[in-house]
Structure 1
Amino acid sequence: MLEFLVGSGLAAAAGLNAWMPLFALGLLDRFVPVIDLPASWSWLSSDVALWITGVLLVVEIVADKIPAVDSVNDVLQTVVRPASGGIAFGAGASAQTVRVDDPSLFAGAAWVPIVVGVVIALALHALKASVRPLANVATAGVAAPVLSAAEDVSAGALIVAAIFAPVLAGALVVALIVSAVLLLRRRRRHRSGTSVASVPRP
């Protein structure tokens, strides 16, 4: 069960920022003895992978804070973030971490964690991509850097929690989804009320 929570936290982080969990997994496997990726995922800690994910992480962090560009970035990331979530879940759930010494939940079905990770990351990405345009319109773009910074912090917190406190990571994933859904409902209710109020009475 713990390996599922580890993978879920990493996949959810990928739904907010595609490259952060991959870069973090690679760095931790390479330099810090808190995670040991299995051979099938060890390429994440190679020089090439670290350089590529590191550069793409910086690009996404910057692009996501620019109004209008952030929405274009979300469209481009519709495929990338779920794919990253699948990789992050697969690597994290099968790794030996400080909290998961003998992962066995997905033994014999290597494709299952990848699919689960894709679904989790896609769900978070869809919520993020839905909330951002509404916030940009409501605040004339002022909210973009603030929301983006909050998402970066959330992604980082999910990664740390997934590795060191998987149960907390699971709770954070649920809290993120609930918060995003409530925000969307509130915005839609507000827009509906505004539309009704603007209809001229006979």
Structure 2
Amino acid sequence: MLDALSLGAGLSWASGLRLYLTVLLAGVLQRFGVIHLPDTLAVLSSPWVIGAAAVLTVAEFLADKVPAFDSLWDAVHTFIRIPAGALLAAGALGHADPALLTVAALAGGTLAGSAHLAKAGTRALINLSPEPFSNWVASSAEDGLVFIGLALALLVPVLFLALMAGFLLFASWVLPRLWRGVQGGFRGMATHMVSRLGSFGSKHD
């Protein structure tokens, strides 16, 4: 049960950052016998699923490196990553009691949503800066986090679950501040644009 909980938490959390990379890694590892997924997640090792996940992983990798477009990508994937995280968490428990599967799905959706919102909020703040390098560094760090997180979830489940508990506490503290920062940043940009337009219009009167 501990391994199943760690697997579900790892898949759901990682899907909030990189859904397609998470599915690809889980499918490939299962395909080559490195890990054993429950029957409810065996479809991830299908060649069709692996192929589709690989194509989408490349697309997401490229989209995530383009400032501003990455925020649009994140906005669209709000409706994809969180439900996927809930499904992966429930699937990790296999054929468990329906009540337990419901709890797992809710917990998985919460983990995926927290990771996704933290990622999206951070990247939105970074995108307020005109230079692209911080965006690339943040994107690459997220790629690395997925690899490290899934490795810990599979190899050191107790440590990973403890880290996830800490992550949820941190997310509950930082997400409201991120939201206020993003709102303030966009209000500042809007004010700056209005003042620029006003000065431009006054020069042509």
TM-score normalised over the length of structure 2: 0.75
Distance in 2, Cα, partners of 1:112 & 1:152 = 28
CA distance 1:144–1:174, change in 2 (3 Å) = farther
CA distance 1:107–1:183, change in 2 (3 Å) = closer
Distance in 2, Cα, partners of 1:114 & 1:67 = 32
1:52-75 CA deviation, whole Å, 9 max, x = no partner?
Answer: 111111111111111111111101
Matches within 5 A, 1:46-61: 46-61=46-61
**Match of 1:115?**
106
**Match of 1:17?**
18
CA distance 1:180–1:23, change in 2 (3 Å) = farther
Aligned partner of residue 35 in structure 1, secondary structure: coil
TM-score normalised over the length of structure 1: 0.76
Q: Which has the larger radius of gyration?
A: 2
1:39-96 CA deviation, whole Å, 9 max, x = no partner?
Answer: x3221111111111111111111111111111111011101111221232123333xx
Residue 119 (structure 2) pairs with residue 128 (structure 1): yes
Instruction: Percent identity, please.
Output: 30
Distance in 1, Cα, partners of 2:145 & 2:97 = 30
1:149 to 140, 145, 161: 140
Conserved? CA contact 1:22–1:84, under 8 Å: no
**Match of 1:92?**
92
Between Structure 1 and Structure 2, which shows a larger proportion of helix residues?
2
**Match of 1:79?**
79
**Number of residue pairs matched?**
180
Q: Give the aligned residue type for 2:31.
A: R
For structure 2, the 5+ residue unaligned runs are 189-205
CA distance 1:184–1:65, change in 2 (3 Å) = farther
Distance in 2, Cα, partners of 1:24 & 1:115 = 23
Conserved? CA contact 2:86–2:104, under 8 Å: yes
Q: Give the aligned residue type for 2:135.
A: A
For structure 1, the 5+ residue unaligned runs are 95-103, 196-202
CA distance 1:35–1:56, change in 2 (3 Å) = same
1:92-121 CA deviation, whole Å, 9 max, x = no partner?
Answer: 333xxxxxxxxx8x5343344233212210
